[in-house]
Amino acid sequence: MVERENDLSTYSPGHVVDLKSIVLPNGNSNITDSTHVTIMLVNVEEERREGKQSYYRATDDKQFQRLNPPVEIDLFLLFVANNSDYPTALRDLSDVIEFFQSHTVFDGQKYPSLNASVSDPVNKVWQLIDRLSFKLVSLTFEQQNNLWGMLSSKYMPSAVYRVKMLTVFETKSDDKVASITQLDFVEN
């Protein structure tokens, strides 16, 4: 798609991919002919794992603040290809699938700017993205019907991706814990 986006006869600069809802709150379509691919969040799911533990953060009054374990969430993103020329819409969708086939994982090593907007990574670790993994989700016809029915829209060429391991940390807690000041060992 990057090569074709330079062709001004079919692509206008800055209008190739858009992140927005494809349906307005009043139920009208929010898809325009100037945008070729629209990305929309369609579901959020918690990834549950056993053994998650609270963690502690030092406070200014020499105590510790106990914070709940981080919540690991998976985002389900809908990529909708829209174009008045149906073959172009299919090519756009094919380009999205091809991109995520060759770029399945995004982390700080491969993409140093992944956390560029984090203002204070030492004290605000919850803002850091460790790793994002994209996986194509195969929907049955029934699931597709439910999704497009929920959106009150007719089916358009699209693909759903699961973005794994986005971690959300608790940042505020009233649960204070005193620090350990003495250890006593008893020998047997």
- pTM of the shown model: 0.72
User: H/E element holding 97?
Assistant: helix 86-102
Give yes or no for residue 116 having a pLDDT over 60: yes
CA distance 51 to 70: 12
CA dihedral sign, ordered 95, 100, 102, 103: positive
Mean pLDDT across the chain, nearest whole number?
Answer: 79
Question: 106: closest CA among 136, 124, 129?
Answer: 129
Amino acid sitting at position 183: L
Question: In terms of Cα–Cα distance, which of 55, 106, 48, 50 is closest to 74?
Answer: 48
Q: How confident is the model at residue 152 (pLDDT cuts 50, 70, 90)?
A: confident
Which sequence spans correspond to the domains of the chain? Answer: 4-170
Residues 62-80: tens digit of each pLDDT: 777 777 777 788 899 999 9
